[in-house]
Each structure stands twice: as C-alpha cells, then as structure tokens.
Amino acid sequence: MRIAILAHEKFPDGAKTATGVLRYGTHDVVAVLDRDRDGERVADCDASLPDAPIVASLSELNEPLDALLIGISPIGGGFDESWRPDVRAALERGCDVISGLHYFLEDDSEFRTLAEEHGCELWDVRRPPTDLGVADGVADSVDATVIATVGTDCSVGKMTTTFELVAAARERGVDAAVVPTGQTGIMAEGWGYPIDRVVSDFAAGAVEELILERGNDHDYLFVEGQASIAHPAYSGVSTAILHGSMADELVLCHATDRERFHGFSQALPTISDFVALHESLAAPVGGSEVVAGALNTRTVDDDAAADAAVEEYADALGLPAADPIRQGPDAILDAVL
C-alpha cells in the first residue's frame, strides 16, 4: 500500500505515529507532509528511519497513492483545520484516509461526503467496533506462546520494544507477530483494537479476541502493552490487557528519566515492586512471569552511561535487560524464546 504521512510542523520528534509507521509499518511511504520541512528528506531528520521525501502538501505529490495517514496527534486529539486541504485533496483523488485522532473523520460531513463521492474509505483507528464482548478467560487456549510488553509508565517504549522483538525474532526465522493495542501499532499492522477506547467492560474481551484470532497462526504473539498497572489514570487499561491476553511472559519496559508517572505527582514503585505486582496480579488469571526488561535510555547521551543504566536495571530486575534501540533486542529475545 502506497501512503503519504501527514506530520505538519511536528516531524520527526513530535510525530510519534509518523515515525512509528515509517519504522514498523509494511507500507510503501511515498512522502511525508510537513510544511516546515518542505524539500528535506526523512533520512536527514533521523538517519535510522527509512528514507522518503518531505513535501509541503498533498497537492505536490504526483505519484499514485492509496492512502493518506494522519501521523500526528495533538494534545486532546483534535483535528487541525490547517490539515483540511490535504485530507480533501487525498479524498478527491480517491485515496483512503487513516486517522488515529479522537476527532472522527467519519463524523465530518465534508469528508464523509467526499469519501462517498470518490469511493474511498475513512478509517478512524481509535473508533473500536461496536460488537465487542466480554472476555471468557480463555486466551491461554491458543497454540502460540504469548508475550506482552508491560510498563512502569506511559511512553517508556512498549510499542517500540514489541515491534523490535518481532523483527528480531523474524530475522532468526521465528514465526512471530504483533498484537497491536494502540493507534500507531494498529496503523503499522493494519489490524488491532485501540484498547484505551474500548468500553471498560469489554477491554479484556477485545484483547482476548485479538489473541484468539491470530494465536494459532504463529508460534509467538507479542502483545503491545499500554500504560502501567500502577498508573493513576490508565491502570484499568493495562490490567485489562494483562488479564485479557493471559500472557505467558512479560517484558517490563522502563525509561531512564522516569521517577514519577509522567504528568502526575505519584512516584513510580521500585523495579522489584513492579515485577512482584505484575506477577501477583497476573497469577489468578494467566499466571504471567516477567522474563526480561527493556530500558529506554534516550535521555542518556553517553553510550557507556547508557550501558551502565541498563546493567543497573537488569540488576534491579534480576533478569536480562537491554535498550532495544541502542543495544538491540537480542538479550531480551534470548530470554523470551
């Protein structure tokens, strides 16, 4: 699928979805739209990303295109009216539009009308289906070994760790797949449910449905975690994923800069408390075991200091650990497989 990714004024650092889809998606990215970087290239901004041109607007693109993907999500998840000409232009040339905004494109009458006229689809990734049900507590019935990434907080690298582990497993010839539970993962895989948007009664059921759908097709499923079971606001989402997935193994993701939950006054528990809490909460349902750790060392400039931070984290866990980006995910994967 040939796509363009909208990331106006935010690429790359403020465009987590755009960089996630570039890095982990299976799409052919024709261009990134960022009016502040017109004429630059993706690789100039971040050499670790697959390269693509950056243009100021969709109307500058002449290549055939299947879809426009909204690759940024402002605080609040609103639609920025300055993006309207790009979305309009995409629909007018028959492209689908994929969005993870809280603002649903399907509820926008201009976009809905254009989509109908031009026979294209509006996919609001954050709108879960309406036919989800309650979990039956049977996700452990699948053949695959199920591994879930869990976290000490939001934005510590659960999605990145999940995708890096699957890529590394595949490189080793292992049949592994991602179970996406958040918008960027869903956009990258073209599949999954945004568990944080599911009615809380059905959140575990939605995860279970994903596991049952793919769990006999692969040897390993890597479930993308969300937030943290100790988070003041989102712990219900994390608990639903833990119990809904009935994961066999957990990888505890953490970041070097994190002493309090981001945006909250509450301090993070210790790493050993996190391990104990996950295992005791999982015990009645899935019986998951923490087998490794992933440490996001982005805030550490010096490689030696980052290595030391990872070593300290592994000691606190009593388990193998790595920064899956800086050091690669092999140490984690060895513990998982």
Residues that bind its own copies (CB under 8 A): 134-137, 195-201, 203-205, 229-240, 242-244, 261, 264-269, 273, 276-277, 280-281, 283-285
Number of Cβ within 10 Å of residue 312's Cβ equals 14
Minimum CB separation of residue 200 from its own copies in Å reads 4
Q: Which residue number, 83 or 261, has a Cβ lying nearer to its own copies?
A: 261
Minimum CB separation of residue 178 from its own copies in Å reads 20
DSSP conformational letter for 10: T
Minimum CB separation of residue 83 from its own copies in Å reads 23
Contacts of 60 (CB under 8 A, 6+ apart): none
Q: Which residue number, 94 or 236, has a Cβ lying nearer to its own copies?
A: 236
Instruction: Give dist(CA 132, CA 105) in Å, integer.
Output: 22
* Residues linked to residue 2 through DSSP beta bridges, in sequence order: 28
Using N-to-C axis directions, what is the helix angle for 109-117 and 84-92, rounded to 10°? 20
Q: Which residue number, 27 or 243, has a Cβ lying nearer to its own copies?
A: 243
Q: Which residue number, 29 or 317, has a Cβ lying nearer to its own copies?
A: 317
Q: Which residue number, 142 or 237, has a Cβ lying nearer to its own copies?
A: 237
Best CA proximity match to 153, nearest among 271, 30, 57: 271
Q: Which residue number, 23 or 278, has a Cβ lying nearer to its own copies?
A: 278
Minimum CB separation of residue 313 from its own copies in Å reads 18
Q: Is 74 helix (H, G, I), strand (E, B) or coil?
A: coil
Identify whether the C-beta of residue 220 lies closer than 8 Å to the C-beta of residue 147: yes
Minimum CB separation of residue 206 from its own copies in Å reads 9
Please give the angle made by the CA atoms of 218, 228 and 153, to the nearest 5 degrees: 115
Minimum CB separation of residue 280 from its own copies in Å reads 6
Instruction: Give dist(CA 186, CA 217) in Å, integer.
Output: 18
Minimum CB separation of residue 89 from its own copies in Å reads 31
Best CA proximity match to 165, nearest among 337, 288, 296, 309: 337
Half-sphere exposure of 192 (CA within 13 A, CB side): 27
Q: Which residue number, 69 or 203, has a Cβ lying nearer to its own copies?
A: 203
